[in-house]
Chains A and B, each alone.
Chain A
C-alpha cells in the first residue's frame, strides 16, 4: 500500500470555517448575550468640549420608571482607579488622571459624566434626560500649535502644560551637515486628519457577577481579552484570578477595540456594587464620541537630496494630537511611525521629533496601521515631490534610492533590520499589470488636447513593520508588556484536535488559518481541527490581536506547538513499532518504519494509545498535548508597490479612481483568499482617508461629523475593482516565512491616491491637496494655483 500524497493545506484558498455561523446569525455578539436579571447601562456624556462640573444630580433619574441606580463620578471614585496607559514613551511623559467617569472637569465632547442602570435599555436612555448637570464652560483646546503657546488654556490645569512628551530620534550623520551638501532641499507640511474607526459591530460589554465567590465574567467586544483582564483587575482591584474575560465573536476592531475603556470598568464596578449583571452597548453616534479616534497629526517634513535624486537625509517634526487623555497606547502610536519615515530608502542622516499634544477632543489611539500609515504617507508624498523637483519619473526616483534585493538583510537609517524583500520584483510586476507606460502616454495626450478631466498616476512603494513584537525591543521602547504569543495543541482521544491560541480574532479568520497550519504539521484533516480563542478560561495565555501580529507571532506559536506534538508522538510510535525514532518517517499523519512501510501507526492511533496509556514509553505523560510561547526575533516587513490612476474633473474637483493595482509581498501565504480579503479591506480604508473620511470639529470643539450621514465611509459602490497580485519573498525571521497583512493595504494606499491626484494637477501648479481630497478642496487647489499663476506650461517628463 502506498500513501497517496495529500496536498498541503497551507496555500489553499479554504473557505472560512467561521463564516457559516457568522453569516447565518448563529452566534452571539456581546449585545446578544442575555443573563437573568440583567440591568442596562446608559451613559450621560458631556455636550461640551471643556467645562468645570459645578454640580451633578442623578436623583431625578432615580424617580424614572425602571431605573435601579444612577451614579456620578464621585459616587464611584472609591471603586475605580485611573484608566491605564501602558506606554509611557519617555521618562518624563505627562500622564494625567483618567477617571472612567469625570470628577471635576470634562475634557472632550462625549466625556462621561454619569451612568444609569435600568431594567431595560429604553428606560436607561430615557432616564439620562432627567439628570441635572451644571457646567461652567472652559476654553476648548483644539489647535495643536496654539496648544503649545505659553499662555494657552490647559486641558489638564494641574499638569501646567499641554505638551505630553517630546520623543527624539537622531541616527546616522548629522542632518544639518548633510543638508549643507544637498543640491535639493524640499520642505512640506502634511496634515493627517483625525479618523473615526467604524467597526461593523459597535462596542458592547456584559458583566456577570458570581457574588458568592467574588468572581466576575466580563464579555466584551474587544480585541484584547487577555490584556483587558490584567488592566481591569488593576483598575477595579478585583484580583486577576477572579476575573474571566470573554471576547465572543467580535465584528471588527481596526485598533478601536485595542483599548481598556471606561465603560468596561464602569460595568464591572456597577455589577460589583449592585451584585447584578449589567450590559452596556454603544450606539453608533455615541461611539463616534466615546471610542478612540485615529491619526490626527501635523507633519513637517524636510528632505535633502542630490540633483540626481539621491536621498541624503530626512528630518521629521510631528505634532501628534493625543486628545484629552492618554489611553492604552496613545503616546506610542506616532512612535511606531518613527522608524518608518525612511521607508524602503537608503540615506545618510535621519532626524525625528514627535511632540505629543493634549487637546479637548476624543483621545486618539491605534487605528489600522497605527503610526505607519502616517509615516508612509509622508515619505511617499515626498518622493513624488523630489521626482518633480529633479525632473525624474516617480518610479525612477524610487529605484535610485531603494534597498536592492541583494542588500538584504539591511539595517536602515532608523535602526531596523529588514530581513528580506524584493522591491524590484514587486514594482516590475505592478507596472506591467497597471500598463504604466500606456497610461503615461494617455496622460500626455490628454494634457496636450486640454481635456478638462485630467489623468493622474500615483505610486506608493511601501514597507511596514508589523508582527508586534520582540519583547526586548518593546522594553527599549518603554512599552509596558512583552510581544510574545502562546499556543497549545491537544490531540483528543478520538484523533481530533483542539488548537488553543492567545490571539483574539475579530474578523481575521484565525480559526481557518490556524487549522491549515496545524493540519499540515500534524497530518490530520483540516476538518478535524477546532481552534479555541478569546476566553481567558479556555485560552488563558495570550497577548491578543493587533499590529498585524497574529500570524507572524501567534501562527508561528501554533506551528511550533504542533511540531512538539509530533515530536512527542514520534516517541510513542517508536515504542509501539519497536523501532528507533530515527528510523521513523512521518508523512501525512502516518509514522512508518523506513524500509518496512507495513509497520505503521497513524497519529490518531498514537493519540488513543497515549490516552489509554496502557503501553507508552516510561516517563511519558498520558496526553498528546504541547504548548509553545513564541517571542519573535524581529518584526516582519511586508512590502509592495501600489499604483493608482485617477481622473480628476477640473470643473467640479471630483476624483474618480480609474484603476488600482497592487502587488504585495506578505511572504508565504497561508490562505490566499483571506489575504485577498485583508488587502481589499485595507485598500478601502486607506482610500477612505485619502478621499472621504474626516472627523470635523467646530470652533467650540463639537464633533460636527457625528453620524454616518456626515462622516463618509465609502462602500463598494464608491471603490474601483482592485487588481491585486503578489510576490512571495519569505520572511527569514519566523519558521513559517510569513509577514503580516492586516494593515498593509491601508498603509500603502493613501499616498498612492493622493500622489495620483497631485500628479494630475501638477501641470496646473498644484503641489498638494489636503486630505481628505474632497471635490471642493481639489477645486480650491486648482483655483488658488491658477490665481497665483504658478501653472507650468508643460508637465514634467
Chain B
C-alpha cells in the first residue's frame, strides 16, 4: 500500500478518541477494521491528515443482552457476529447476512460498526440494520445519543454522524419466531451485492402478519421496500407473495454501473424480494 502521508494516533479511551476527533475536525478518519478505509487510502481516493485507530479502545467489542435488546459493540468483527449464539438466536438475519460479507479474511478484520458507519449502500449490513429496526449509539463531545437506523443513513457514504462522533454500539431488538432470509445477488463470491434483499417475516395463522424488507444497493442509501411490505401483509400463498413483491422496487433509485442497469436492478429487487419472503415465510 502506497497511501498519501498521514498522521496516526491510537487512543486508549473513548474520551480521548472523541477529543482527538474534535480537534482534527474534517481532516480525520476513523480506523476500525480497516476493510473500507484502507482500500480508499491505497487507491488515493481518501486524503485524511489524521487516522484515528479506535481498535484498542476497551468495551466496544462483544455482544450482550440488555433487556429486550441485543447490544453489539461497534468493534465486534463480522466473524464474531456470525458465530455469536445470542445473535444467532435473536437476530438470525444479521448472522446470515454477515456471513455473506466478502471473504473470511475480511470478516475477521471488518467490524459491524465500521460497515454501518461507512454507509456504502452496496454493503450488506446497512439494509439489514434497517430491516431489523436497529438503533445506533454514538458518542461525541456532547455525550451519547441513540439514532434509529432509519434516520442514520443520509446519502452515498454519508450518515448523520458528526466528524467528532464515534459509533459505539448497535442495538437490535430481540426477535423470536420471525422468519428471515438475506438474498444476495452478486457475480463472484467476494464481490459486493448487485442487489440484496433482507426479509423478516412474522406469520400468523398461515398468513404473513408483518414483513420488513431492507434493500441493498437500490439507491444512494439502504432502503426499506415500504410498498412491498404493505402489500405483503395478509399474503397467504406464494402467488400472493409474488404479486406483492412486484412493488419491491417502488420508490427506489438504483444506479447504473459496469455491472448492471437500473432496470435490471429493479427487476432483481422484485425477484429477490419474492424469493426472500417465500423463504422467510417457509413457503418456498
Q: Which residues of A contact B (CB under 8 A)?
A: 121-122, 125-126, 283, 285, 651-652, 654, 692, 696, 704-705, 707, 709-710, 712-715, 717-718, 774-776, 779-780
Q: Are B258 and A121 in contact (CB under 8 A)?
A: no
Interface residues of B (CB under 8 A from A): 2, 4-5, 39, 42-44, 103, 185, 187-192, 194, 258-261, 264, 267-268, 271-272
A300 to B60, CA, bound (A): 62
Known A-B contacts A126-B5, A652-B268, A707-B43; A775 and B187 likewise in contact (beta carbons under 8 Å) = yes
Instruction: List the A residue with the shortest CB-CB distance to B190.
Output: A715
> What residue of chain B has the Cβ atom nearest to residue A696's Cβ?
B258
Contact B185–A654 (Cβ < 8 Å): yes
**Minimum distance in angstroms from B181 CB to a CB of chain A:** 16
Chain B residues with Cβ under 8 A from A651's Cβ? Answer: 271
Given the complex, which residues of B lie within 8 Å of A780, measured CB to CB? 264
What is the CA–CA distance of A774 and B259 in the complex, to the nearest angstrom? 8
B188 and A714 contact, CB distance less than 8 A: yes
Judging by beta carbons under 8 Å apart, are A283 and B188 in contact? no
A285 to B259, CA, bound (A): 18
Find B187's partner among A121, A126, A696, A774 (CB 8 Å cutoff).
A774
Q: Judging by beta carbons under 8 Å apart, are A126 and B191 in contact?
A: no
Task: With both chains docked as a complex, state the minimum distance between the C-beta of B20 and any C-beta of chain A, in angstroms.
Answer: 24
**Which B residues lie within 8 Å of A779 (CB)?**
264, 267
How far does the alpha carbon of A466 sit from the alpha carbon of B189 in the complex, in Å?
34
Q: How far is the CB of B17 from chain A (nearest CB, A)?
A: 27
- Once bound together, how far apart are the Cα atoms of A651 and B190, in whole Å? 23
Residue of A nearest to B189 (CB): A717
Interfacial chain A residues near B191, Cβ < 8 Å: 709, 712
List of 8 A-B pairs having minimum Cβ-Cβ separation, nearest first: A717-B189, A776-B264, A125-B2, A696-B258, A712-B188, A718-B188, A651-B271, A704-B258
Contact of A710 among B44, B258, B268, B272 (CB under 8 A): B258
Q: Is the interface of B mostly helix, strand, loop or mixed?
A: loop
- The smallest beta-carbon distance between B261 and chain A, in angstroms, is 7
Contacts A651-B271, A712-B187 given; 10 further ones with Cβ under 8 A? A125-B2, A283-B42, A652-B185, A652-B272, A692-B187, A707-B43, A712-B191, A715-B189, A775-B264, A776-B264
Select from chain A the residue with minimum beta-carbon distance to B274.
A651
Does A709 lie within 8 Å of B189, measured CB to CB? no
Are A121 and B264 neighbours in the complex by a CB distance under 8 Å? no
Q: Hey, which chain A residues are within 8 Å of B43, CB to CB?
A: 285, 707
Bound Cα distance from A718 to B190, whole angstroms: 9
Chain B residue with minimal CB distance to A121? B2
Cβ-neighbour of A692 out of B185, B188, B260 (below 8 A): B188
Report Cα–Cα, A779/B271, bound state, in Å: 12
**Complex interface: chain B residues within 8 A of A692 (CB):** 187-188
Q: Find B2's partner among A283, A704, A718, A775 (CB 8 Å cutoff).
A: A283
Q: Which of B2, B258, B271 is close to A652, meaning CB atoms less than 8 Å apart?
A: B271
Given A704-B258, A774-B259, A776-B261, are A126 and B4 also a contact pair (CB < 8 Å)?
A: yes
Q: Within 8 Å CB of A704, what residues of B?
A: 258
Give the residue name and chain of the B residue nearest to A283 (CB).
B2
Q: Which residue among B44, B188, B192, B261 has the maximum number of chain A CB atoms within 10 Å of its CB?
A: B188
Of the candidates B2, B42, B187, the one whose C-beta lies within 8 Å of that of A122 is B2
Report the Cα distance A122→B271, complex, angstroms: 48
Interface centre among B42, B43, B187, B267 (most CB of A within 10 A): B187
Residues of A within 8 A of B2 (CB): 121-122, 125, 283
Q: List 21 A-B contacts (CB under 8 A).
A: A122-B2, A125-B44, A126-B5, A283-B2, A283-B42, A654-B185, A692-B187, A696-B258, A707-B43, A709-B39, A710-B258, A710-B259, A712-B188, A713-B188, A714-B188, A718-B189, A774-B187, A774-B259, A776-B260, A776-B261, A779-B267
List chain B residues, Cβ under 8 A from A126: 4-5
CA distance A688 to B14 in the complex (A): 47
B2 nearest CB neighbor, chain A only: A125
Min CB–CB distance B258 → chain A (angstroms): 5
Most buried by A among B4, B194, B259: B259
* A709 touching B192, Cβ below 8 Å: yes
Contact A122 B189 (CB under 8 A): no
- Most A Cβ at <10 Å: residue of B190, B192, B194: B190
Docked CA distance A184–B264 (Å):
37
Q: How near does chain A come to B53, taking the closest CB pair, in angstroms?
A: 19
List residues of chain B with CB within 8 A of the CB of A717: 103, 188-190
Chain B residues, Cβ within 8 Å of A775: 185, 187, 194, 264
A184 CB → nearest B CB, Å: 36
A705 to B4, CA, bound (A): 23
Q: How far is the CB of B190 from chain A (nearest CB, A)?
A: 6
Q: In the bound complex, how far is the Cα of B189 from the Cα of A285, in angstroms?
A: 21
In the bound assembly, the distance between CA atoms of A246 and B260 in angstroms comes to 44
* Residue of chain B at shortest CB distance from A284: B42
A301 to B244, CA, bound (A): 47
Q: In the assembled complex, how far is the CB of residue B239 from the closest CB belonging to chain A, in whole angstroms?
A: 15
CB-nearest residue of chain B to A654: B185
What B residues does A714 contact at CB under 8 A? 188
Give the complex CA separation of A429 and B241 in angstroms.
Answer: 47
Q: How far is the CA of A705 from the CA of B42 in the complex (A)?
A: 17
Tell me the minimal C-beta distance from B122 to chain A in angstroms: 10
By a CB distance below 8 angstroms, the chain A residues around B272 are 652
A343 to chain B, nearest CB (A): 30
Q: How far is the CA of A707 from the CA of B45 in the complex (A)?
A: 13
- Nearest-CB residue, chain A, relative to B268: A652
Which residues of chain A come closer than 8 Å to B39, judged between CB atoms? 709
Given contacts A122-B2, A713-B188, A717-B190, contact A705 B260 (CB under 8 A): no
The complex places the Cα of A596 from the Cα of B126 at a distance, in Å, of 85
* Distance in angstroms between the alpha carbons of A705 and B187 in the assembled complex: 14
